[in-house]
Amino acid sequence: MENQEWDKDLEKILKEMGVDGSPIDAIHEKLKNDLDKVLNIGFLGSPGVGKSTLMNKIAGKKIADAGVNPGIEVTKFSWGENDSIIFWDLPGYNGLPPEHGVEQYWEYHNLENMDILICMFSNKLNEDDAHFFKLAILHAQDVIFVRSKSDDIYDDELSVEELKSEIEKTYIKKLFGPRYSLLFVSSRTGEGLAELQETIANRLSSELQEKFYRNAKAYSQSFLKAKEKAALKTVLWYSTLSAGTSLVPVGAGVLIDIPANIKMIKAIGNHFSLSDKRLALLEAQETEKMREYNVFLNVLKAGVSAKDYYLPLLKKYAPKVAAGNLGKFIPVIGAGTGFALTAFMGKRAIDSCKEIAQDLMEKEIATFKVPVSH
């Protein structure tokens, strides 16, 4: 994005938050409340349906171990910003421990507190699990049905699409009602992951939706675009932190706080599911750029003419910004230079991370092997 577009997006987010024109402290507090909100998503299904593997796919990293008491013990997996996204691995009917009957299950697991409950099955949905899912609908706030391992759907006489239609009609529409639909997902081939991600996001409140976009892995261009916008709240968060200690103009010698900005860049890199190796490379690159930019700020502090030094450096960091528009880096909401410099580096980091993530996503999607109808 160009810098002017970034400024408009920042202003739009502030308006959406209802804090446009508010003091930095008020903006910071509102951001803290939004970032600290907890998103609870439950995964309900019998052992072997692939709950742990699907959790890892959604998160874009290994957060759940499929080999540890799969489907038997209730397991909590916290991840994302401030560990505020919680995936709950809930046993299905065939995974209930002897001491818990079906009725006691709901008392122990508080499904009412789940923002979304994903009910999973593979192959056929047996009578016991169907009964269990009906009870789940009564207790959960929102339910998404998933038929996992969709890559194994096959019939000699029917096409894959015809089979899917028949499965949805038989196991979902007839049993739970016409308003429910069925998503077909394969963690192995990648089929249905993008649709599941968007379905989850669309069922959430605006704040939790942004949280999900920021932290979940993108499997589509639309999700990646939403992630780019949602990541601006992370930039705003670190910018308001910087504003609290840097309420002075550029000429007074304010420099970029490199350690603080590296924390922000790492957070943004995690939003875009970058590997540790790529994060380390990005950290090294951005550290070098920030050091050079601080040299530029010291030149301003010393009152040295910028004619021969300032223009090449500015073009290096913001080639789309005219030299006369340095004011774009300085108070977009009256917060002082600390805010503006951190926001500037955050915007750069989002652009860099998005470019890397898009390239990796396109390569991964190209390797997906989705079943072909016949």
pLDDT at 8: 73
Is residue 372 in some structural domain? no
Going 204 to 38 to 239 to 222, the CA torsion angle's sign is: negative
pLDDT at 154: 85
| CA separation for the pair 346, 31 (Å, rounded) | 16
| CA separation for the pair 56, 78 (Å, rounded) | 12
One domain for residues 43 and 161? yes
Provide CB contacts within 8 A for 7, sequence distance 6+. 328, 332
> Which residue did the predictor score with more confidence, 336 or 8?
8
Among 66-70, 105-109, 121-125, 220-224, which stretch is predicted with the lowest mean pLDDT?
66-70
Q: What percent of the chain has pLDDT over 90?
A: 47
φ/ψ of 30, rounded to 5, equals -65, -40
Last residue within a domain, chosen from 171, 198, 219: 219
Region 332-336: what's the mean pLDDT?
Answer: 41
Nearest to 149 by CA among 137, 135, 130, 167: 167
DSSP-derived letter for residue 171 is I
> Which residue did the predictor score with more confidence, 132 or 230?
230
pLDDT at 248: 36
82 with 35: CB under 8 angstroms?
yes
Region 293-319: what's the mean pLDDT?
Answer: 59
Residue 212 has pLDDT above 80, yes or no: yes
Query: CA 362 → CA 193, 209, 350, distances in Å?
Result: 14, 23, 18
Beta bridge partner(s), residue 77: 87
Among 66-80, 142-156, 183-197, which stretch is predicted with the lowest mean pLDDT?
66-80
Is residue 371 in some structural domain? no
One domain for residues 251 and 311? yes
Q: To which residue do tokens 């073009």 refer?
A: 315
Region 337-348: what's the mean pLDDT?
Answer: 81
Among 20-29, 65-74, 205-214, which stretch is predicted with the lowest mean pLDDT?
65-74
Average pLDDT, the chain: 81
Is residue 111 in some structural domain? yes
Q: Count how many domains the chain has.
A: 2
One domain for residues 106 and 202? yes
> In terms of C-beta density within 10 A (0-12 exposed, 13-18 middle, 19 or more buried), how is residue 223 classed?
buried
140 with 117: CB under 8 angstroms?
yes
Residue 131 has pLDDT above 90, yes or no: no
Is residue 225 in some structural domain? no
Among 62-66, 172-176, 218-222, which stretch is predicted with the lowest mean pLDDT?
62-66
One domain for residues 258 and 291? yes
Give residue 374's pLDDT band: very low, low, confident or very high (50, 70, 90).
very low
Range of the domain at 87: 37-219
pLDDT at 313: 54
pLDDT at 250: 37
| CA separation for the pair 366, 169 (Å, rounded) | 31
Region 62-69: what's the mean pLDDT?
Answer: 72
Tokens of 161: 């699409």
One domain for residues 266 and 334? yes
One domain for residues 204 and 347? no
Residue 328 has pLDDT above 50, yes or no: no
Condensed to tens digits (0 to 9), the pLDDT of residues 39-65 reads 999 999 888 899 999 999 999 999 987
Is residue 254 in some structural domain? yes
Q: What percent of the chain has pLDDT over 70?
A: 76
Transcribe 116-170 into DSSP letters.
EEEEEE-S---HHHHHHHHHHHHH-S-EEEEE--GGG---SSS-HHHHHHHHHII
Tokens of 354: 């998005």
DSSP-derived letter for residue 83 is G
- What CATH number does residue 57 fall under? 3.40.50.300
Complete edge-to-edge strand list for the sheet that includes strand 39-45 = 75-79, 85-91, 39-45, 116-121, 143-147, 182-184
